[in-house]
Amino acid sequence: MKTLLRPTTPTGHIVRHYLEMVVAMVVGMIALGPLWSLAGEALGWTAAFHAPEPASLIMATNMSVAMCAWMRFRGHGWPATLEMAAAMYLPFVVLFPPMWAGLISAGTVMVGGHVLMLPAMAVAMLLRRGEYIGHCATRS
């Protein structure tokens, strides 16, 4: 019996790619996070790196670097890769104004940004369904 989530089905391709991106994001956070800590200490910027805005954008960068590297390795084009990276940053940036207005906390920005990036990734994928459904993506 053929299931929708098999890697050979269009839905299976999309689900596999989505899960690969989540894994790459976690790898990026684990691998690159300590480098930022070392850089912050070496430059005397540790406090600045822990402010909500830089902390969230650094986290988005860590996730984006690993995710973009994996996407390019898998043959995805630059437009799709950069859209997926934008999905890492946009949720945080959207939450900054409510934080500045005192409506939400810095913790809410960090948690909310991570939660909102998951649907943002899905939207980025839906915009280029063809790229994520095919066996081999084309390079742009």
Domain spans in the chain, listed from the N-terminal domain onward? 10-133
Contacts of 8 (CB under 8 A, 6+ apart): none
Q: What is the pLDDT of residues 86-125, one digit of tens each?
A: 999 999 999 999 999 999 999 999 999 999 999 999 999 9
Contacts of 126 (CB under 8 A, 6+ apart): none
Q: What is the pLDDT of residues 21-50, one digit of tens each?
A: 999 999 999 999 999 889 888 988 888 888
Q: Tell me, what amino acid is at 88?
A: M
CA-nearest of 6, 24, 54, 36 to 117 is 24
**pLDDT band at residue 139, thresholds of 50, 70 and 90?**
very low
* Predicted local distance difference test score (pLDDT) of residue 2: 52
Measured over the CA atoms of residue 90, residue 36, residue 75 and residue 12, the dihedral's sign is negative
Separation of alpha carbons 137 and 52, rounded Å: 36
